[in-house]
């Protein structure tokens, strides 16, 4: 014999609880939005990091202008004569 | 629309039907609107429109676009074959990114470790930076010849294209121009890209003077931050070395660059050979003339870099003196279109000429307005550098897919310790 009455508890949210729920939901949405913008910012960040690595390579180079690369000058001296020569046109340009 | 030629590799980038969620993210990064499919439906790439740049691949949150050309095992076979001289030509942007595949921070400069790893794998090196210097000599002299002719009124022995002159290093940009602005092609520098110069040089000068082997036994491997380079290498016009040797009485036909590995592919190759770039013995290929390069060459990897390198040399050639400050700040950074004016005093005639230059990167947003200006005959520029990928080659479609980037899956891997 049932000694108790089953009464369904009404779903009631107090003002305080409601604020809590809204706060949590808001935080979740905000995190999502934050992640999305963060992704694009991060993309720019790693492009910049790689670009910095490249500029570092330039700064530490002993020779910093193409016309001062002795090995390239040698290619012209020993083989291709000079830039835009007939042979250079044939091998290093499209027509 | 111009069709592709028979031998050319097309369909380098394809979207995996099983992985694609139809989220449309890729469309935001595709420079030519080549991606078809409604929101929510499985997407597909139109091969006739695609420039193979791979921006969709590195930016898809789910990793659905795939690089379909995999030559890693073929290169390993060649490396094992003692008859073959396998030459790797390493693009500038590879040396600041490959470390990421071995757990290093983005931007870590690992040139010596990369040379060490290449040596251990059995490659000879003809650094693409070396031919980037050569590109400046060829493309820069072409520009200077145009300036001397058009601005200073000097007579010319060569046929010269019109100004402004466009850079021709970026294969995705070249394909874009061929497909969408064919009437502007006379403006394109006739100089080959550094990779294609490396192919032609390696199988002529390199084979004969440096390695002293038969050119047909040289296997040139482009190591690039770029998927479009796979397309460029397959173009039938790039058989210059074979044609040169035919004029010297030799027979045989072979491409200048045999195959292309992306930065990701090279990392896979090293891993298959148990080589760890992080721990490998460093090597500075000092005695190798084809591994010498200037600072001007290495900055080709960044947007504005080709321009800056060209200005350093153009300044010297026209004025007869070196630039005081080599860093040319106006063309650096990630602004969409960068422009600058440089006044040069011609050492020969004493007259001054002002060179107007522009730099654009990211075809999707920044390139079209510049091209429309040239088409309308209203362009104020003499020299325009264009790179397809935002930021330049450092952000190419063949680079490591960065967990800091827009790929959500890799992002989760980077953030979650158990993933």
Q: Which domains does chain B have, with CATH numbers?
A: 72-130+193-288 (3.40.50.1780), 141-190+297-395 (3.40.950.10)
Name which residue leads in pLDDT, B168 or B63: B168
**Nearest C-alpha in A relative to B412:** A35
Instruction: Answer yes or no: are the C-beta atoms of B243 and B184 closer than 8 Å.
Output: no
- Mutation pick from A53, A61, A89 vs chain B, by most beta carbons of B within 10 Å, is A53
Residue A91 near chain B (CB below 8 Å):
yes
- Cα B360 from Cα B380, distance rounded (Å): 15
Looking at residue A53, its pLDDT comes to 95
* Rounded average pLDDT over B145-156: 84
Looking at residue B348, its pLDDT comes to 81
Looking at residue B419, its pLDDT comes to 46
Instruction: Answer yes or no: are the C-beta atoms of B118 and B125 closer than 8 Å.
Output: yes
Would the CB atoms of B295 and A57 count as touching at under 8 Å?
yes
Instruction: Answer yes or no: are the C-beta atoms of B1 and B179 closer than 8 Å.
Output: yes
**Which residues from chain A sit within 8 angstroms of residue B204, using beta carbons?**
79, 91
In this predicted model, what pLDDT tens digit does every residue of B339-397 receive, in sequence order?
A: 999 998 888 888 888 999 999 998 888 899 999 999 999 999 999 999 999 999 999 99
Contacts with B235 (C-beta within 8 Å, 6 or more apart), sequence order: B5, B7, B8
- Cα B351 from Cα B345, distance rounded (Å): 6
Name which residue leads in pLDDT, B276 or A45: B276
Exposure of B157 by Cβ count < 10 A (0-12 exposed, 13-18 middle, 19+ buried)? Answer: exposed
Provide the whole-model pTM: 0.89
Looking at residue B387, its pLDDT comes to 96
Looking at residue B1, its pLDDT comes to 41
CA distance B120 to chain A (A): 23
Q: Could you confirm whether B60 is annotated as catalytic?
A: no
**Which of B25, B52, B168, B189 is labelled catalytic?**
B189
- Residue A38: pLDDT band (50, 70, 90) is low
Exposure of A63 by Cβ count < 10 A (0-12 exposed, 13-18 middle, 19+ buried)? Answer: middle
* Rounded average pLDDT over B101-127: 95
Instruction: Answer yes or no: are the C-beta atoms of B42 and B16 closer than 8 Å.
Output: no
* Rounded average pLDDT over B253-263: 97
- Residue A34: pLDDT band (50, 70, 90) is low
Adjacent-strand bridge partners of B360: B337, B386
Would the CB atoms of A65 and B145 count as touching at under 8 Å?
no
- The closest CB to that of B106, out of A49, A64, A93, belongs to A49
Percent of chain B with pLDDT over 70: 95
ipTM of this predicted complex? 0.92
Exposure of B173 by Cβ count < 10 A (0-12 exposed, 13-18 middle, 19+ buried)? Answer: buried
Domain regions of chain A by residue span: 13-61, 63-95
Would the CB atoms of A67 and B305 count as touching at under 8 Å?
no
- Cα B80 from Cα B135, distance rounded (Å): 32
Number of A–B residue contacts, CB under 8 Å: 189
In this predicted model, what pLDDT tens digit does every residue of B192-244 receive, in sequence order?
A: 999 999 999 999 999 999 999 999 999 999 999 999 999 999 999 999 999 99
Which H or E element spans position B85?
A: strand B85-90
- The closest CB to that of B96, out of A53, A70, A83, belongs to A53
Q: Could you confirm whether B105 is annotated as catalytic?
A: no
**Which residue matches tokens 């006044």?**
B343
- Residue B414: pLDDT band (50, 70, 90) is low
* Rounded average pLDDT over B65-81: 96
In this predicted model, what pLDDT tens digit does every residue of A45-95 receive, in sequence order?
A: 889 999 999 999 999 999 999 999 999 999 999 999 999 999 999 999 997
Would the CB atoms of B390 and A47 count as touching at under 8 Å?
yes
> Mean pLDDT score of chain B, rounded to an integer?
91
Residue A85 near chain B (CB below 8 Å):
no
CA distance B241 to chain A (A): 7
Would the CB atoms of B109 and A57 count as touching at under 8 Å?
yes
- Cα B375 from Cα B133, distance rounded (Å): 30
Would the CB atoms of A92 and B197 count as touching at under 8 Å?
yes
Bond into B164 cis (ω within 30): yes
Looking at residue B411, its pLDDT comes to 61
Looking at residue B403, its pLDDT comes to 61
Would the CB atoms of B201 and A75 count as touching at under 8 Å?
yes
């Amino acid at each position: 014999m049932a000694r108790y009455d089953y009464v369904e508890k009404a779903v009631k949210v107090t003002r305080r609880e409601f604020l809590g729920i809204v706060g949590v939901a808001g935080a979740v949405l905000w995190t999502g939005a934050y992640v999305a913008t963060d992704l694009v910012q991060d993309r720019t960040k790693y492009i910049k990091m790689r670009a910095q690595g490249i500029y570092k390579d330039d700064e530490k180079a002993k020779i910093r202008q193409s016309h001062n690369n002795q090995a390239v000058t040698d290619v012209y001296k020993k083989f291709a004569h000079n830039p835009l020569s007939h042979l250079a046109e044939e091998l290093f340009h499209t027509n | 629309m111009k069709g592709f030629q028979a031998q050319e590799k097309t369909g380098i980038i394809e979207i995996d039907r099983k992985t694609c969620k139809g989220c449309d993210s890729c469309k935001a990064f595709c420079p030519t609107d080549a991606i078809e499919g409604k929101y929510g439906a499985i997407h597909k790439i139109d091969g006739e429109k695609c420039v193979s740049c791979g921006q969709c691949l590195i930016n898809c949150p789910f990793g659905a676009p795939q690089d379909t050309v995999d030559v890693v095992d073929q290169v390993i076979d060649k490396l094992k074959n003692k008859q073959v001289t396998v030459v790797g030509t390493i693009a500038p942007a590879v040396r600041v990114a490959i470390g990421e595949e071995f757990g290093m921070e983005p931007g870590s400069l690992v040139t010596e470790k990369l040379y060490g790893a290449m040596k251990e794998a059995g490659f000879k090196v003809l650094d693409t930076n070396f031919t980037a210097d050569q590109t400046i000599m060829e493309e820069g002299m072409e520009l200077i010849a145009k300036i001397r002719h058009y601005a200073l009124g000097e007579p010319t022995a060569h046929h010269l294209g019109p100004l402004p002159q466009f850079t021709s290093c970026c294969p995705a940009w070249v394909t874009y121009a061929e497909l969408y602005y064919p009437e502007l092609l006379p403006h394109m520098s006739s100089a080959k890209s550094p990779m294609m110069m490396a192919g032609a040089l390696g199988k002529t000068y390199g084979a004969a003077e440096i390695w002293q082997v038969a050119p047909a036994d040289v296997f040139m491997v482009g190591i690039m931050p770029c998927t479009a380079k796979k397309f460029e290498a397959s173009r039938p016009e790039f058989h210059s070395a074979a044609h040169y040797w035919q004029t010297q009485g030799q027979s045989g036909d072979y491409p200048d660059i045999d195959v292309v590995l992306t930065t990701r592919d090279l990392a896979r190759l090293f891993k298959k050979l148990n080589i760890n770039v992080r721990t490998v013995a460093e090597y500075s290929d000092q005695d190798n003339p084809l591994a010498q390069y200037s600072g001007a060459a290495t900055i080709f990897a960044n947007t504005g870099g080709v321009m800056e390198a060209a200005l350093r040399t153009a300044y010297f050639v026209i004025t007869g003196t070196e630039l005081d400050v080599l860093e040319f700040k106006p063309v650096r950074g990630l602004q969409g279109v960068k422009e600058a004016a440089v006044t040069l005093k011609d050492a020969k005639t004493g007259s001054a000429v002002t060179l107007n230059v522009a730099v654009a990167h990211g075809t999707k947003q920044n390139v079209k307005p510049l091209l429309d200006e040239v088409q309308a005959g209203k362009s104020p520029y003499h020299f325009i550098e264009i790179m397809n990928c935002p930021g330049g080659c450092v952000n190419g479609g063949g680079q490591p897919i960065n967990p800091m980037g827009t790929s959500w899956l890799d992002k989760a891997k980077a953030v979650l310790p158990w993933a």
